[in-house]
Structure 1
């Protein structure tokens, strides 16, 4: 009974000890010292060389140093590194122990890097238990919390292995290719080795035996150069299997003999016993020290002046706790067996539902990605041809139509972007830009682009613009343009033989803060009281009859509502059926009228002499080839055309170009793969990714493949020429 009471006292005092320890730790500087960081670097080196016992001892020293310095962040980092090292020797129980200890410390401290590492370790455990979709979600959460390069590279490696388990080989290959050319300052060679090995295993799975052998040999070379013993063993084992399946039995025998020799020399049972013994000793020592710390705290409390009072309180509390524990234990044992089967059944049902939801989400993402690319490609033709026509000195009446077409093309591109990212808008993950603009000009451009629609409906457009509104404002003109385009376009659509009035009025101005009132009203068909409640919901147009008569998707007002939410504004509606409607809202902006007149809001682009430059255009779309080639010839540049990635590699080997314009999405090999191959024999030529980028494209992967810059289609001509000039004449360094 006394022994049981002593244990209960310890249990009761653990929260007191944790609170006191945390308070003490927070009172000190929580930045890890260089000495502790050096332990982490040394342990990482031992781990990669398969000197696990030395790595464990080094990390244990780091943890002890962190406790001496009362550095809570360094202690958390030590626990996480011990957890990862335990995974390497398949001691998942130890990993969960260290992970739980770190969880306790993380509750009372804001440390994003540790939060990211915590989720990363959890993701690995989920992957090992074959819960791969949950692992991907956890890895994505970790990405959002930290951008440390070494951490991100290891996360990409784990993500690739999860993709392989899910048979998503293209996604895994993209990750692994970017790791092969990584620039990590801590584990460059180790990550390269792991990427080659994992890629070789993927090739073996997909029966691409030649590539598997090639990647396996690359991994073996890097591993032998750096003394990565475990990776040398793995590479020999893999190559033994690959060469045997290829029928190259002599090579298979060589690798098999190397493997046996390696196992006999270093990978033996005694070594594994030493590693396990070291790991168990460190964990037991940690537990012993934790118990000793708690015991010391109890003794300090016992020796205090309030010992008698504390003992009385504790005794009463322990009696209550013991009674409650006894009753709870009895009841839990009675119901545990009855509920266990039900819980397992429900868990399976939830797992199936979760997997279904994940698959549906992936299908939606793939659809949006396809839509993004397929819409941007024809838009490039529209905007490119418009630009070329405007430069061919059209007549004045044609110039007006071409400018309206150009503005509509720009609007349509932004419209597509917002539709594709409407889920981000609703989740408050998209923020409005802050750039200088003239509001009067923005509204006039929208009205001018809708003039033809108004004439077709015999509708008069009226603008009442307050002259007191400052001419220089700071906000997001693109999203404002889309709001006006939807509201005015809606009013014109539902108003025939009437008028649409647009009002912009200055409500308030305090120093550089201004509040502007906007209203778009019409005398069209109006909206009934019942439909006003749901008119801002998606695909809602009032009735099926209205939809059939007037057309449209019903998304216009939904987008307006979502976009105004970004400005922390709310749209209001007043309408009478048969008499018309009025939509109004207020937006707060910044006034820039107090700045000097010679202040420039934009960086003046440099003028480059493009004459006699020779470029390679890599593009599979015939129309886009013609447009891009003609835009280059406008600046007196010559060009060759490659219809696919294979042609691009051949032409780049046989000719000298000043730059390459590389499309990413092509049949055969992609632009990324073509860039990787070109970089093998030409490291200096500027390569600009000229692509209709989609949702699943990653700028990081473009740069990792070797691209110097990225221009998204459709693009503004001045941006296009500026990028070419910067990368050819300014010799911009390759991003990574």
Structure 2
């Protein structure tokens, strides 16, 4: 073949393809069928559908198709194809429905028809909803409503949306839409829509447990369906009412509706009839599709008679269109799979978000509750511990001393429990941060063990500190939280060890330019922990068993706090234990160190060195009982005091009188203790101010110090700590002033 003839064939092929594609975009001017004629056809098809004569409805619409094709009326063809598609959806024949939907779509590509575009989306949404892709269906329905304001289409969209909302249990939205449809003014389907709305409300109320209301709507639906021969709805209403009245235990009515149901099934809506409807619909559809194929065959025969090269061009163009069609079908299938997957993912994401929000709300509620409870308990507990201390100092009778000591022990035990709860609450709420200040490890450990010595003596148990002197003296870290960790672990070991020994071991594991790794171990030869108990020993309120809890007491929060505090240092608690042999808790900490710092000279005075006589202190406290207790505790040490009932009185008193110190409550009506401290610091930067407060979940020690407080004593407090803090702050300030 010559190059010239090849160019000729190629040119003809291009022209043919352009011609074929162009034919989809150009049509003769619409010559609309008479509106009255088509309105009659649509009404007849609609009536047949509502009476479940679906095959007859399809037959009527197919005949209308022939008229529309003869008159070359694309918009009417779109309407008919879409209505046939919806009828096949009623028969659950989604493949045939897609066929007619695609035929309508092909025409819409070259026709400006917003109602047709809206109806296409309604069909897509209906198929998605039937395939249980609820969220994708809702999105598609919203898009359809934006394209057209056709009353009948909007009402059907609202009905479909209501059905979906019932399925996903959005009952309020569903009820609003269904109540509107009960009183709809739809010219075409007013009664049918009201019937479907009553059925929807019956189902909605049944799911919410409103059986009486459900029965009422079910009977209303049955009445409308019976009057208008809506056979499918009659069947559904009877079926539903039989179930509702059975749940209401009105068995006579339930039996009556069951009999009605059987009669309807036997006469009007048998399975055989449904099969026949489907078969007839398939027959009609097959006939229509056969006619279309026959037309194409005749066109092909006409083309085959032509002996010129246009025959080859037409064949190639047809092949091209077939390939494009196959690609379109493949893309459509892939898109359906993608939509279904996206719908599933969206549903799961929605469920996860709901679960997450519920968990966050529950955690927040728990945190707020515990914070409020622990804070409110501190105020009356302050009165208990304070009055007990005062009574013990007033030389009570011997038989009273025992009771008062028991009361003091109970108060301190309750205080420790409240502190543990607050600590756990802060950890759960991520309100705890590790400090980075200079400290001496050996001093921290010695202080902790000294404070526990009395408890050790009660159990006839020896505490031994095995300290590695290669550990640098000056470390950087959080000595307060490290003290809590060691105190909880050693206290726990002492609780379960009698007539034995508790070893506190520290070893230098590694060291580089400015960091070290220290190994800590607390070992005892107490009762030990079984392997089963070790699995949950670090959980809140766990002590191994109920028997252990009753015998040895305690809250079961100590090890939980240890585990959480070590998490702040990126460390983890480990455990080795054997029944009747003992237990060993161990962990490692990374710490910074400073070797170059010269050993500090301590100027701190012990409590016995303080002479409080002649001191004058301002107590800022709004609680009357707390005022009395704090004043008596100060007077016993020879300290005189004034009382301010709120922050404003405190500011005025500090301006007009000279005090050696101020004890400032933080939580007061009016301006808070923090604000009062800030204002006092504007005219007096020297006076020691000690925050005396029942610290709560939202309180921050940093904010107290930032406001100008020199120190913090948490209520309720131990008297020795109270006096020590006052002495340190007053006399340290005087020592610094003198030097």
Fold similarity call, TM over 0.5: no
Rg (Cα) greater in structure:
2
TM normalised by structure 2 equals 0.42
